Amino acid sequence: MKIRTKIAFQFTLIVAMILILFSLSLFFLIRSYTKQEFTNYLKDRAETTAALLISENNVDKRLLKIIDHNTLSTLYAAEVLVFNEKNEVSYSNLNSDRIVYSPALLEQIRKSREYEGEYKDMKVVGLMYYDNKRERDYLVLAQATDTYGEAKLENIKQAMIQGLVLALLITVILSFSFAGYSLRPIARINREVSQLSGNDFKKKLSTGNNKDEIAQLAKNFNQMLSRIENSLAMQKSFVSNASHELRTPLAAMKSEIQIALEKERTPEEYKEILESLNQDNYQLIQLTNSLMQLAKSEQDDEKILEKDVRVDELLFDIQEEFISLYPKYKVVVDYEDITENEEYLTVRGNPALLRTLFHNLFENACKYSPDNKAEVKIGFNPTNIIVGVMDKGEGIPESEQTKIFQPFYRSGNASSYKGHGIGLSICKRITELHKGKLVLRSKLGKGSTFLVIIPHL
């Protein structure tokens, strides 16, 4: 079912329920009021007749009957009967002798002195009237069918049903057009989205009045389009950069092999060529490893933060491993001001990724400084642990300080060093996965400090 139909249907249903409830309660109120009015009338008749007949001694019964028949109240054809103490009829306003009453009812009226009820199709009112002069009780009974009231109620019922049907018809028409009007912005967005072509994320949805929820939806959708556009662009440049980076050592290896095969070589020459190929192959493996790490760090998964990691111990391990791998590099970790509080030194994280992060920073610090030395400081506070990796290299120009975190970006002064421009983008991604930040402080000619700030969590 379309939302428009659904809204119109639900709206009509609600209005119908309210109207039916309102009409029913109004009808029952009028009915009870009409009944009460009729009971009052019968009471009135009973009391007037009793007062005239019993208190006013000299009123002629025949005359009273005539008056009774000619008053406006004949509309109701009320029967008024007066009984003496022996339950004998001492007055009846009926012309015939066929008087219908129930003796059991008379007994009940004598007991309760006042009675209201139904007998056959009639409303019955009974009351005891005390004659002071004769010191006797009289029972007065007034009964009638409220034909006028019933006809009035029937008319009201018909009018209400007609009114209800008409109101519902109007509600259906109004709710359909109202739902259509309210959903117009959604229909517009729908149209615009269906017009977006597969790869064209530049086009954006119009945000209408810029205020309501639909405008917010369009804005969010546009933001999502921009994100997709960015990540597609990044993916594109990643693939072309990666293939370019892979092609360079592969092409070098190919031409080396071709030159080697051009003529017969001595065993020493073959050894030399194989060693050079081995070097290139090592470079290639390094590059593919970095690419794999970058891809791995792209997966945005909470499960990646699997363990509580003691950062000081981890740094110690990496330092050992790093120095044995690169004997000409130096890494000095300052453990002097370290806290006793274990919690301050622990983060929730992934040891393998953290290893990659610090390994890359150590390697850059050593690679890009003439003394091949990285100095490491550990800081902490109740929320974060802060590891600073410092070098006394040539520093990074301010204009490049954000660019170097993009994949494959290498600054101009890095061309004389080996590398592919992937390391820092991996480091940035790993700190983000740990809900932290990688901050660079660098001055040209003075050196650089990379601050890894990771919350304990």
**What residues line the site for ligand ADP (CB under 6 A)?**
360, 364-365, 368, 391, 393, 396, 404, 410-411, 414, 419-425, 448
Distance from C-alpha of 242 to C-alpha of 115, rounded to nearest angstrom: 103
Q: Which is nearer to ligand ADP, 267 or 412 (CB)?
A: 412
Sign of the CA dihedral running 143, 148, 154, 159: negative
Q: Which is nearer to ligand ADP, 272 or 432 (CB)?
A: 432
Sign of the CA dihedral running 203, 206, 212, 213: negative
Q: Closest separation between CB of residue 427 and ligand ADP, Å? A: 7
Q: Which is nearer to ligand ADP, 110 or 359 (CB)?
A: 359
Residue number of the CB atom closest to ligand ADP:
419
Q: Which of helix, strand or coil describes residue 338?
A: coil
Q: Which is nearer to ligand ADP, 39 or 283 (CB)?
A: 283
What's the DSSP call for residue 257? H
Q: Closest separation between CB of residue 228 and ligand ADP, Å? A: 25
Q: Closest separation between CB of residue 281 and ligand ADP, Å? A: 18
Distance from C-alpha of 43 to C-alpha of 36, rounded to nearest angstrom: 10
Q: At 406, phi and psi to the nearest 5?
A: -80, 145
Q: Closest separation between CB of residue 348 and ligand ADP, Å? A: 26
Contact 457, 418 (CB under 8 A): no
Q: Closest separation between CB of residue 442 and ligand ADP, Å? A: 7
Q: Which is nearer to ligand ADP, 117 or 419 (CB)?
A: 419
Q: Which is nearer to ligand ADP, 388 or 423 (CB)?
A: 423
Query: Could you identify the residue written with the tokens 């009135």?
Result: 44
Q: Closest separation between CB of residue 433 and ligand ADP, Å? A: 17
Helix (H) or strand (E) holding 349: strand 346-349
Query: Could you identify the residue written with the tokens 């006793």?
Result: 340
Distance from C-alpha of 442 to C-alpha of 406, rounded to nearest angstrom: 17
Q: Which of helix, strand or coil describes residue 19?
A: helix
